[in-house]
Amino acid sequence: MTENIINVIEENKIIAICRGTYGEELFQLVSALEKGGVKLVEVTFDQGDPDCLSKTSTAIAKLSQKFNDSMVIGAGTVVTLEQVETAYQAGAKYIISPNTNPAIIKRTKELGMVSMPGAMTPTEILAAHEAGADFVKVFPVGALGLGYVKDIRGPINHVKLIATAGVTPDNLKDYLAAGFSGSGISGYLTNKKFIQSKQFDVLTEHAKELMQIVEKFKAENK
User: Which are the contacts of 120, defined by CB distance < 8 A and separation ≥ 6?
Assistant: 138, 139, 140, 144
Distance between CA atoms of residues 6 and 11, nearest Å: 9
Question: Three-class SS of residue 82?
Answer: helix
Say if CB 160 and CB 185 are below 8 A apart. Answer: no
Catalytic pick from 13, 39, 42, 62? 42
**Contact between 19 and 190 (Cβ < 8 Å):** yes
Amino acid (one-letter) located at 177? A
Sheet arrangement for strand 161-164: 114-116, 94-96, 72-76, 40-44, 14-18, 182-185, 161-164, 136-138, 118-119
**Residue 35 annotated to the active site:** no
> Catalytic residue at 85?
no
Catalytic residue among 39, 62, 93, 137: 137
Chain centroid to CA 33: 14
Catalytic residue numbers? 42, 137
